Chain A
């Protein structure tokens, strides 16, 4: 229950800071909390939280990416780099504490972070920061410019997220 409250407070904080629009969704599964989130380029994502297991999952985190494409490989490499001890502790995801997974669901991508100690609040914080960096760092790299303009139908003169 405490972890659920932590997650709720975290979502409220993100909303209050103008990071995304979000609200709790009705859930028909015990122990599973869900939030609707409108983030980057108005994409509707769904955050599912199983506080008992310390498991959080963001659905629709990215539009479809072809398996084994270059961007698919780059993305997986980038996610692994987030576990690097070269990153400062406040930015890295310690694989001894958290497990990160990228999966496909209905063509679109979902990203999950599981806290090995069951700390759903901290797992949510890690996941949302990871997604923020995915958009502001990984997708901002020069080699992704053409892809994001085409995929998100961005104004090529101003390929910005909000």
Chain B
């Protein structure tokens, strides 16, 4: 296995930081130095006191200056170590090692964790599975989810029994809503201590993930550790994926096996699961072809299943053969390019014209009225398992099939057809939509000029413009859109041109907060060139988020820098939760929605070893973004750009148009 790490992570000195900062940031650095000088005096005194007791203070330089942030040698050394082999010979294998070997044979793409569940995470690392440790379990869980959203691969996350596992819950739920194949691992004390509140961290884990997983098991029989590992991967790699949750009591993780005969169902993945996929019945394909033939304005809604089954080439072939409009849905965008002549993602006005909708791999089904479609539209749904067909949306035809297989058969069997009027309508609707958001951008520029603060339309449109005009190619930069006000504006302006170029952190579950961590997982996938990210190694990723969202995972900048993932985080800082207007008509409520004003997230980033930029004008923002990209590309540096705004931009009363939800399905859709 190739070394997935980049041990050349860039830890930057203050002087290096200073050279690439804006004037404003230079002031920050200067201020920071003053702070450091002041702090050094007190730390020096503490060190002297410490030394008096006979303990050295090795990190304090002779001149009393506080040393620069740096990676520990032990960190770099650890990443260069070769995987360790295990066997039943000699001391035998632990339950954790048996499980880790199974994960390795299943090509588990990555583990994102915090220390805890030590036996299992150490065994996974030693087995050669790319593992990453961070600051909070919740954020590491989101990182794993982001990695999977960007690749379609099975990933794992882990935390310690009670607190660490509990911290993961929001992001397990987000992964469940996105149908992410996420393997949730957690230690869980001892079977001997069950129901006795023995020592600390006792909690019943499995009921906690009820409703947000496909399968879960607290393992109680050490001999079945391989069997349940197989159970997990059978669920993760078959049908519709969702999180799988295994909790490991110490008696299971630390059990020792000296012979395979001590293990139940200890056989290879070729025996415990199947790669066989459902192919559509011939009569169902005939019926679908007949409905498409009658349709004047057909539409394919290609969901997460099309991405996970890597059906994008067949999707494009089918659409182009018969002039079928396409919009993608789900937490991952770009597997049908937004600029394709048949894309309806940025043509909301045309959605209501479609007379046939073909849902393919739409795992999270809307109800009529939630999608912007004609009420009499005929509906076909293609889904890999039968029992979900007909849920929420009444169907004219339900087809059980693997998504990619269906699209390949459809592309082969569809007769060529021209639907010129429909294509012309799509073109006009895209043009109309572009004119509409161009007008909003002009308003945003005006609002920015009048207030001296950055309007979200300006931030997001200029970010996309940076991507569209970048010499590395507009397909190169993967993006993620989170936050409330800024996320909804970003949905209007951000585009995706290749599979998994855009990730939607708040998809369906609506969590405000996983954004930064999720995009670090994406950055990890990009740097390793996994799946559809191959060919973009070295490219920084861009995360658009809010001040509210950043709070949940800002500390993980430390993790991104440790592992050399160049991330650019654009923080829309409006001093408030974006939903503050809901307090405006309620007495004594507003204080709950407001933060201190003008908080300096850029300075927090700097303190974590990242670059920080503070901007308030469109020109400064564009320049900061260009510097951030260059630093990410050339030095693997991560940057946080603090875009100072005002909360009133959310409301359309003073600063039209204000916030609103985007059309579903389409660019900016987050619900289904």
Chain A residues packing against B (C-beta within 8 Å): 13-14, 16-19, 40, 88, 90-91, 125, 128-129, 132-133, 135-137, 140-146, 156-162
Contact = CB atoms under 8 A, between A and B. Distances in A.
Contact of B658 (A129, A146, A160): A146
B374 A132 contact: yes
A129 B374 CA distance: 7
Contacts of A144: 660
Contacts of B579: 156-157
Interface of B: 296-297, 349, 352-353, 355, 367-370, 372, 374-376, 379, 392-394, 421, 425, 510, 579, 581-582, 651-653, 656-661, 663, 671
A145 B660 contact: yes
Contact of B653 (A137, A146, A157): A146
Contacts of B376: 13-14, 17, 19, 125, 129
A146 B652 contact: yes
27 contacts: A14-B375, A17-B376, A17-B379, A17-B394, A18-B367, A18-B368, A19-B369, A19-B376, A40-B369, A88-B421, A91-B352, A91-B353, A125-B376, A128-B375, A129-B375, A137-B352, A137-B372, A143-B658, A145-B652, A145-B658, A145-B661, A146-B653, A156-B579, A157-B579, A158-B510, A159-B661, A161-B369
A128 B579 CA distance: 33
Nearest to B350: A88
Contact of A160 (B296, B657, B663, B671): B671
B325 to A, nearest CB: 13
Contact of A19 (B368, B656, B663): B368
B70 to A, nearest CB: 43
Given A17-B394, A146-B581, A140 B663 contact: yes
Contacts of B372: 136-137, 140
B352 A133 contact: yes
B601 to A, nearest CB: 24
B660 A140 contact: yes
B586 to A, nearest CB: 12
A16 to B, nearest CB: 6
A19 B378 CA distance: 12
A142 B657 contact: yes
Given A17-B394, A91-B352, A161 B370 contact: yes
What are the nearest 4 A-B pairs in CB distance? Answer: A142-B660, A142-B657, A145-B660, A19-B375
Contacts of A162: 367-370
Nearest to A86: B428
Most-contacted residue by chain B among A88, A90, A91, A159 (CB, 10 A): A88
B160 to A, nearest CB: 32
Given A17-B394, A40-B369, A146-B653, A141 B425 contact: no
A3 B365 CA distance: 35
A140 B375 contact: no
B346 to A, nearest CB: 16
Contacts of A158: 510, 671
B651 A146 contact: yes
Given A18-B392, A136-B372, 6 more contacts: A135-B369, A142-B658, A143-B652, A144-B660, A145-B652, A156-B581
Contacts of B374: 129, 132
A15 B353 CA distance: 20
Nearest to A125: B376
A132 B370 contact: no
Contact of B368 (A17, A133, A142, A157): A17
A142 B652 contact: yes
